[in-house]
Amino acid sequence: MNGWVPVEGNASVWTDTSGACLLREERTGQAFPVLASQTEALAFAVKLRKQLSKSVGAVTIQPVDRAGFWAVLAAYDHKDGGATYKISQLYLNDAGLLRTVTGSSADGEKGACVNAMREFIRYLAN
């Protein structure tokens, strides 16, 4: 994303120039199926919501089309040290393994980075 810089040289963690938003990409060794249809993505989303809600409370989920495959977008609040953060997290298949793209900002943050980050995750990250 234009104007964002890696955090401490880490090409998997980026922040905007104000430091108000953080974007993280993680590749895991965990198997993750190709979601070939909206129905498959929705079935996974239901399971994901159930699992995430055990640790973070309310979770909003949405299947998202990625030109030939589907991913799942989750949104939830995360509390840490008395602060609340808004999290947007995209779950993707990467050669049969799970890859996530996660964006976060403080609850109430109104900087331009918030919408730019959420739009990137929702529409462009793949």
Distance CA 59, CA 56 (A): 8
Question: Which token pair is 8?
Answer: 């401490």
- Supply the mean pLDDT for the chain: 94
Please name each of the domains of the chain with its CATH number.
5-124 (3.40.1000.10)
pLDDT of residue 48: 95
User: Which pLDDT value is given to residue 25?
Assistant: 96
Q: How confident is the model at residue 2 (pLDDT cuts 50, 70, 90)?
A: confident
- How far, in Å, CA of 101 to CA of 24, rounded? 6
For residues 123 and 21, what is the distance between their CA atoms, to the nearest angstrom? Answer: 17
pLDDT at 15 over 80: yes
Q: What is the pLDDT of residue 1?
A: 76
**Which helix (H) or strand (E) is 102 found in, with range?**
strand 97-106
Q: How confident is the model at residue 126 (pLDDT cuts 50, 70, 90)?
A: confident
Tell me if 100 sits within 8 A of 25, measured CB to CB. yes
Reported confidence tier of residue 124, pLDDT bands at 50, 70, 90: very high
**pLDDT digits 0-9 by tens, 46-101:** 999 999 999 998 999 999 999 889 999 999 999 988 999 999 999 999 999 999 99
